[in-house]
Amino acid sequence: MSEHKPEDVTLDEGLAKVLEAGEQLSEEHVDAMAEQAKEAARKNEQAVQAKHEQLDNSRK
């Protein structure tokens, strides 16, 4: 665990940590996470569309 409080970490330090973590991920892992994010976005979009349709139908 880090000895720094989140508010004491600079933007540069935070970005360095993100880049360091990214270098440790395999390309396959990154691709898998990207697919998971895309699927989550698709499901969210479908849920939003369903909610809009439900609202539209309730107004009729």
Q: Tell me, rounded to whole angstroms, the distance of Cα 24 from its chain centroid.
A: 18
Q: How far apart (Å, rounded) are the C-alpha atoms in residues 25 and 29?
A: 6
pLDDT in tens, 12-59: 998 999 899 888 888 899 899 999 999 999 999 999 999 999 999 888
pLDDT given for residue 34 in this prediction: 95
Would the pLDDT of 9 be above 70? yes
Token couple for 50: 């369903």
More confident residue, 35 or 6: 35
Would the pLDDT of 1 be above 60? no
CA atoms within 13 A on the CB side of 53: 6
Q: How confident is the model at residue 2 (pLDDT cuts 50, 70, 90)?
A: low
